[in-house]
Amino acid sequence: MVNLAQVIKDLRAERSRAQKEVDRLEKAIGAPRKLGNPGRGK
């Protein structure tokens, strides 16, 4: 039988890992804004 407590623990750990990845991606996406207007002047 599946240990529900372990499944929940694993899901919370995965959510935490995924949130860190989202935070990293948002930071990377925002970096060009600090450098100027990306996409303009092409």
Rounded distance, CA 38 to CA 4, Å? 47
Nearest to 8 by CA among 41, 34, 16: 16
- The mean pLDDT of 20-37, rounded to a whole number, is 88
pLDDT tens track for 29-42: 998 877 776 565 54
Rounded distance, CA 10 to CA 3, Å? 11
**Residue 17 CB neighbour total at 10 angstroms:** 10
Three-state DSSP class for 40? coil
Residue 2 has pLDDT above 90, yes or no: no
